[in-house]
Amino acid sequence: MASRSASLLRGRASVTSLLAHPGPVKHVRKLHVSSILQKVKPYLLADIGEGIREVEIIQWFVKPGARVEQFQKICEVQSDKAITEISSRFDGIIQKLHYEANEMAQVGRPLVDIDIQSELSPEDGAYTTPPEEQAKATQVPRSQDAPNEDATAEGQPARPDESEAELMEARLDTMSSSTRSNNPSKHRTLATPAVRHLTKTLGIEIVNVQGTGKEGRVLKEDVLNHQKRQSEGSTSTVPFKLTQEDKTMPLTPIQNQMFKSMTKSLHIPHFLYTDSLDFGNLNRVRKSFEQQSGVPKSSALAFIVKAVSIAMSKFPVLNARLDVADQSKPQLHYRVHHNIGIAVDTPQGLLVPVIKSVQTLSIPEIAAEISRLGSSGREGKLTGSDLSGGTITVSNVGSIGGGVVSPVIVEGQSAIIGVGKAKLVPAFDDAGNVIRREECILSWSADHRFVDGASVARAAEVVKHNLEQPANMIMSLR
């Protein structure tokens, strides 16, 4: 560090000397900036795929003056599809953050400035050179026969490029001051998306909460304790006064994606079909499975997903996609894999990750995938692959409440099934006796442009039969 400081001071002194003693010279060499200074470069936000042009900065893992290594996490961003962590491609020191938390960052624009302390390869230019500078680099260089712009007219002595010297001085000041900077507004406190959602719900600024987790991470308990201290600090004798005002805010990335998706769904004619079924036998089978060692716990949703897949095998139209590229000749594309989406309620909003190739999975395997996708969704770790490729959707809205629902079809899919809340109701057995029944209502919405009502009703009966007699479903598995 001492040698580096000395080098910087020598560079500053050389600039001062050149400006103070501009003796007559015939040729002045361009001012040379040390290799360290030349490597202070912008690190661009790379293309993360799927046509995404901007992302929201969720939180920073670094701040100005922090040292980073290759592959170390810099920040966490959220697109309209998923949350992604951005890593550094270089070793070096962070000089500047170009965005604050909650701001929208543009793909291809500088994300941070890094004093790069590792070798740069030709391929690294795509990560450190803005598009407009790359375009300039492709232009034909100036001819050597062209007049020297650094030489002055009428034989006057040439002077060093004062703007370049001033740039060097500014960079020196920036580097020395940025290492001393400790402005918390530039570095968002570490916290999970669920905790950040809680702070927004309670109206608490996360930077004011003292984190007790690893590396100062703010935990749920920290937020609740902070709110409790605020409540205890207020006096009950002060009359209530409304201080909040109406405000207008842009849609979050997930809300924006939902807006686009549901707007596209408006042109789909929905056919709604509902039916109730008895969950009694299904719950007894589930409990029997749970008592066996080595068998993971399976929710009713895993059985429902498998029953829907069996119905799709019997009625392939439910796994088809309507192609209307040519309005005069619409076509049906029949898909092989049963990629069934499941609606997941997350702190960021409703997401629909997809279980791929359900027809090849056992019920325990489906249950394990439901658990993985649910956890990833709540932690904001779902990938673009997890959220794409769905052919039909199952929405377990009954886990929150409700009975009969009217779910909305996602464009490109044939149907969606809403699962209501299971509840105990009185019913009659075959002998006319009143019995307790565990009733659940399934609500189907199908694209009535190519799925007729009879096909939906027959498919719903297949699902009902397999769920009310789960032994038959298990026997039919391959």
Catalytic residues: 448, 452
Q: Which runs of E-coded beta strand occur in 256-375?
A: 270-278, 320-323, 331-334, 340-342, 344-346, 349-351, 354-355
The DSSP bridge partners found for residue 114 are 41, 94
Give the Cα separation of 409 and 271 in Å (integer): 10
First to last CA, the chain: 67
**SS3 category, 424:** strand
Enumerate residues 6+ apart whose C-beta is below 8 A from 299.
286, 367, 370
| Residue for token pair 């560079």 | 11
At 85, the amino acid letter reads E
For 8, the 3-state DSSP assignment is helix
Tokens representing 115 are 């004093």
β pairing state of 349-351 and 344-346: antiparallel
Residue 191, classed as helix, strand or coil, is strand
Q: DSSP alpha helices (H): ranges in 315-438? A: 363-378
One DSSP character per residue, 79-122 reads -SS-EEEEE-SS-EEEEEESS-TTPEEETTSEEEEEEE-S---G
CA 155 to chain centre: 62
Count other C-beta atoms under 10 Å from residue 437's C-beta: 18
Number of H helices, E strands in the chain: 13, 19
Residue closest to 209 by CA, chosen among 188, 194, 180: 188
> What is the sign, positive or negative, of the torsion defined by CA atoms of 430, 435, 440, 443?
positive
112 closest CA partner among 185, 184, 181, 45: 45
Strand, coil or helix: what is 298?
A: coil
Dihedral sign for Cα 412, 392, 343, 383, please. Answer: negative
